[in-house]
Amino acid sequence: MKRTFSLLAAIAIGTMMTAPAFAQDGAVNPHVTGTVVEGNTTMVFKTANDRDLHTKSLAQWTNFAQQHPQIARQLANQPALLSDAGYLGKHPELGQLFDDNPGLLAEMKQDPGNFNAIPPASDR
C-alpha cells in the first residue's frame, strides 16, 4: 500500500512539474509573424505598431492615390515633390486634397513612408 502511494505521488508530482512546460510550448503570440534561428541568434519578426499612424489621413490619401495612381507613384519615388510649389501647381487636384484635409501635407512631409508605397514593377 505504501509503495503504491509513493508511486502515485511520484507520478502526480512529475505531472504537475511538466504541465507548465507543455502549456508554454503551445502559447501563440498573435504579434509574432515568424522567427529565424541562426546559430546562437534568434530573430523574432513582429507586426508593426500602428498607434502612431493617422488612420483618417491615411484613408484620405489612399482614396486619392487610387484615383490618381500616376501622382501617387511619382510622390512615392520622389517625396521631395511635396515641397515643390511647381509640382503642386501642375496638379491642382493634389492641392485640393491638401486644402480639404488640413494637416495632411505636413504629415506626409514628416513621414512620407507612412503614405507612399512604390508599387511592384508589374503594376507600373
Residue 76's contacts (CB-CB under 8 Å, 6 or more residues apart) are 116, 117, 118, 119
Residue 3, pLDDT above cutoff 90: no
pLDDT interval class at 17 (50, 70, 90): low
The pLDDT tens digits for 88-103 are 999 999 999 999 998 9
Mean pLDDT of 57-76: 91
Does residue 71 or residue 25 have the better pLDDT? 71
- The pTM assigned to this predicted structure is 0.55
